[in-house]
Amino acid sequence: MGVISWIVVGLVAGWLAHVILGGRGGLFGNIAVGLIGALVGGFLFEKLHLQVMPDFWGNLITATIGAIIFLFIWRAIRRA
């Protein structure tokens, strides 16, 4: 995937994570959360030996799951 594709996946994944967990997130915040989520999701899926289709939807699922995990941990740390 190209850089533009990763930005689109990051934007959508970050937005989905904010919708699922609630809260606010602007354009750049959603992109950042989604891109970090893609890294977290990719790392976790690799360590757990989980495989998804290497297409847009597979990348979106991985990034969204990673973004949800990242936001959950980030919010727990900020509250402490």
When divided into structural domains, the chain yields a total of: 1
pTM of the shown model: 0.82
SS (H, E, C) the chain: CCHHHHHHHHHHHHHHHHHHHCCCCCHHHHHHHHHHHHHHHHHHHHHCCCCCCCCHHHHHHHHHHHHHHHHHHHHHHHHC
Determine the structural domain holding residue 20 and report its residue range: 3-79
**pLDDT (tens place) for every residue of the chain, 80 residues total:** 667 877 788 888 888 888 888 877 777 788 788 888 888 888 888 899 988 888 889 888 888 999 899 988 988 998 86
**pLDDT of 1:** 62
